[in-house]
Amino acid sequence: MTKIEASIGRVHGDRYLPISNALEDFVGHPPRVENLQGWAGPNDLLQIIMDWESWRTFATLGAGIFGAAAVGKLGQSIAGDSYDALKRLVSRASPSEAKSTDSEKFERLERAIKDAIADGYAVTLSIPTGGQFRNNLGIELTSGDLAQILDASAILGEIGQDLRHAIESEEQSGQKVYGAAHGNRDGGPKIERLKDGSLAIRLGLEKDGQSVPLTIQYDRNGKRIKQLPPT
């Protein structure tokens, strides 16, 4: 299983420390701190940043420990049909032999995230984009409940690699991909859950001086659909 590596993104201050300390239990060392781009106004922004493989490993660990209980709680908190990444992960996960200290790692991280959200911070689980987009690409948490954390982690672990390939394929064809207005509070592109259970990432394309919107969409089974509105 891939070793988990993570970093913390913040604009300024030390409000990230409780989350960083909780993440250290998973990565085995203090996570690297990255500076996010701020706004003119309040900059209460935090990110947990991992590549797709680390998110998949993180979600798999959580699925093995909390299993169907997390899926059940998630179903109670999400209106409409849900994207099924966490359900698929739980169905494949082997029963965990984790000790109570392992579940406590997740619960400690949950408390740190919920406290930050309660203090007015936007906490986003993100995939690094190497400076291509403002403040990476990810899923902004609304409650910080453990089920929501595992669900977002499972989504990033499932679509992260394919999403990067989709973006890279556009760039290789000579088009510049940029973040659209439909972003997270930190300004990064948003992975949005739609009412039908699918996911949408709204971006923009620029080529030969022309700009058009680009939506990369995944149905609830994880199949990618690229949609460009007619010009």
Q: Which domain holds residue 107?
A: 7-227
The span from the CA of 145 to the CA of 158, in Å, is: 20
Q: In total, how many domains does the chain have?
A: 1
Residue 195 forms part of a structural domain: yes
Closest CA relative to residue 153, chosen from 225, 83, 80, 78: 83
In a domain? residue 201: yes
Domain for residue 38, yes or no? yes
Considering only CA atoms, give the Rg of the chain: 17
Q: Pick the more confident residue, 113 or 103.
A: 113
Q: Is residue 2 part of a domain?
A: no
Which among 140, 144, 159, 19 is positioned nearest to 89, based on CA atoms? 159
Q: In what order do the strands lie in the sheet with 137-140?
A: 32-35, 7-10, 45-49, 122-127, 137-140
Question: What is the rounded CA–CA span in Å between residue 140 and residue 132?
Answer: 19
Euclidean distance between CA atoms 192 and 186, whole angstroms: 14
pTM of the model: 0.90
Q: Is residue 34 part of a domain?
A: yes
Kindly state whether residue 94 falls inside one of the protein's structural domains: yes
In a domain? residue 17: yes
- Specify the DSSP class assigned to residue 177: E
Query: What single letter denotes the amino acid at residue 145?
Result: D
pLDDT in tens, 45-78: 999 999 999 999 999 998 888 876 666 665 555 4
What's the pLDDT score for residue 229?
57
Computed over every residue of the chain, the mean pLDDT equals 86
